[in-house]
Chain A
Amino acid sequence: MKIHEYQAKELFQKFGVPVPQGKVAFSVEEAEKIGAELGRFPVVVKAQIHAGGRGKGGGVKLAKNADEVKKWASSILGMTLVTHQTGPEGRVVKKLLVEEGLPIEKELYLSVLPDRGTAKIVFMASEAGGMDIEEVAAKTPEKIIKVYIDPLVGIKGYHASELAFGLNLAGDLVKQFSAMVSKLYKLCVDYDCSLLEINPLILTKDGSVIALDAKINFDDNALYRHKDILEYRDLDEEDPFEVEASKYELNYIKMPGGNIGNMVNGAGLAMATMDLIQQAGATPANFLDVGGGASAEQVENGFRIILADPSVKGVLINIFGGILRCDRLANGVVEAAKKVGINVPVVIRMEGTNVEEGRRILDESGLNLITAKDVSDAAQKIAAIAKG
Chain B
Amino acid sequence: MSIWVDRNTRLLVQGITGREGQFHTINCKNYGTSVVAGVTPGKGGQSVEGIPVFNTVARAVRETGANASMIFVPPAFCADAIMEAIDAGLALIVAITEGIPVMDMLKVKNYLKTGSSRLIGPNCPGIITPGQCKIGIQPGHIHSPGNVGIVSRSGTLTYEAVHQIQQFGMGQSTVIGIGGDPVNGTNFIDCLSAFQSDPETRAIIMVGEIGGSAEEEAADFIKKNVTKPVIGFIAGLTAPPGRRMGHAGAIISGSSGTAQGKIKAMREAGITVVENLGQMGAIAKDAFAEALR
Contacts and interface: CB of A to CB of B under 8 A. Distances in A.
Interface of A: 85, 114, 116-117, 119-121, 134, 138, 150-152, 189, 192, 194, 219-222, 224-225, 251, 253, 255, 264-279, 283-284, 287, 289, 292, 320-323, 351-353, 374-377, 379
Contacts of B243: 253, 287
B204 to A, nearest CB: 18
Interface string B62-83: 0000000000000110000000
Contacts of A376: 276, 278-279
Contacts of B159: 320, 322, 352
A33 B123 CA distance: 50
B101 A266 contact: no
Nearest to B254: A134
A284 B152 CA distance: 24
Given A114-B182, A270-B246, 6 more contacts: A117-B212, A221-B99, A272-B157, A272-B235, A275-B277, A323-B137
A128 to B, nearest CB: 16
Contacts of B275: 279
A278 B238 contact: yes
B237 interface: yes
Contact of B248 (A134, A221, A264): A221
B291 interface: no
B100 to A, nearest CB: 6
8 contacts: A114-B103, A119-B109, A152-B110, A251-B246, A276-B278, A292-B156, A322-B156, A375-B277
Interface stretch (B10-18, B44-52, B87-95, B138-146): B138-146
Contacts of B111: 152
Q: How large is the interface on B (under 10, 10 to 19, 20 to 34, 35 or more residues)?
A: 35 or more
B212 A116 contact: yes
A174 B240 CA distance: 40
Interface string B176-197: 0000101100000000000000
A193 to B, nearest CB: 9
B246 A114 contact: no
A353 B141 contact: yes
B155 A224 contact: no
B1 interface: no
A374 B278 contact: yes
A221 B103 CA distance: 10
Contact of B152 (A219, A222, A265, A268): A268
A360 B45 CA distance: 46
Nearest to A375: B278
A222 B245 contact: no
A326 to B, nearest CB: 11
Contacts of B207: 268
B209 interface: yes
B249 interface: yes
Chain A contact residues, majority secondary structure: mixed
B246 A271 contact: yes
Contacts of B137: 292, 322-323
A247 B275 CA distance: 35
B153 interface: yes
| 5 closest residue pairs by CB, A with B | A268-B154, A267-B246, A266-B156, A376-B278, A268-B157
A329 to B, nearest CB: 12
Contact of A189 (B103, B212, B276): B103
A93 B198 CA distance: 59
Given A222-B103, A284-B238, A271 B276 contact: no
Nearest to B240: A255
B102 interface: yes
B32 interface: no
A239 to B, nearest CB: 11
B101 A292 contact: no
Interface in B246-288: 246-250, 254-255, 259, 275-279
Contacts of A352: 139, 142, 159, 163
Given A268-B152, A272-B235, A151 B106 contact: yes
A351 B139 contact: no
Contact of B244 (A121, A138, A220): A220
Contact of B278 (A225, A289, A320, A379): A379
B123 to A, nearest CB: 9
B210 interface: yes
Contacts of A276: 276-278
B216 to A, nearest CB: 10
B213 interface: yes
Most chain A beta-carbon contacts within 10 A, residue among B100, B110, B141, B246: B246
Nearest to A114: B102
B115 interface: no
B213 A152 contact: no
A386 B107 CA distance: 48
B245 A267 contact: yes
B235 A323 contact: no
A309 to B, nearest CB: 16
B236 interface: yes
B239 interface: yes
Contacts of B84: none
A84 to B, nearest CB: 10
